[in-house]
Amino acid sequence: MRQIVLDTETTGLSAENGDRIIEIGCVELLGRKLTGNNKHFYLNPERDSHEDALKVHGISNEFLKDKPKFAAVADELLDYLQGAEIIIHNAPFDVSFLNKELELIGRAPIKHCVAKVTDSLMMAKELFPGKRNSLDALCDRLEVDNSGRTLHGALLDAELLADVYINLTRGQNSLMMDVGGPSQDGDSAPAIDLSGFDLPLLAANDQEVADHEKLLVDIDKASKGKTVWRAVVELVEKAA
């Protein structure tokens, strides 16, 4: 499935109170790789940005005056998003603005166009409970270079989020290892099945056990005692 990492910049914080989208940035992933097939729009919101919003994105009202209105780019945007999984950091915010823009031109909500919406902020909160999970914080934690991000920008933020998402979801799906590149006739190179190897079992040392226990305690505190292992321990103690 195509994945589109999407970000918006807006005139303020509330679509329901009349704030509008001023910028949309989209980055396409296929097979977890950037394709370069991106979309980027600046939009005339037909209103001024709030002062606080200007401090965040730095896009002046004067700059946006000659830019197209959302209605002019809606078909191009929806065609591009059609059938894809959309990845957004704090998805309810951006989706609310997209839905309001679509509503204003008599179109159906975004869910009728895309296959699904994935909120990378919720993913990060599950992986790093109790920690800061802003885009900047995740870039620092996952070693994604965000040195060029002095102000928020929809396309730059979407590109950074694509790297963050790939790092968040990186994992080994099976004990198979590709060897070499494509063969001369264009077929994929054979894979080595590692499942038949006798892999050694390495026990954790005392320091690693202590670090693991500390991590479990931190997670337990962050979830206010609702972790699965606490419930299992309580059940075992009651049964005993």
- Residue 23: name the closest of 33, 56, 34 by CA: 56
109 burial (CB, 10 Å; 0-12 / 13-18 / 19+) is middle
Residue 152 a catalytic site member? yes
Report d(CA 127, CA 56) in Å as an integer.
Answer: 27
> What would you measure as the largest C-alpha separation in the chain, in angstroms?
74
193 φ/ψ angles, rounded to the nearest 5 degrees: -85, 115
Report d(CA 161, CA 120) in Å as an integer.
Answer: 8
Sign of the Cα torsion 181, 185, 187, 193 reads negative
Q: Which residue out of 40, 57, 112, 152 is catalytically annotated?
A: 152
Residue 165: both structure tokens together: 């998402």
State the catalytic residues.
152
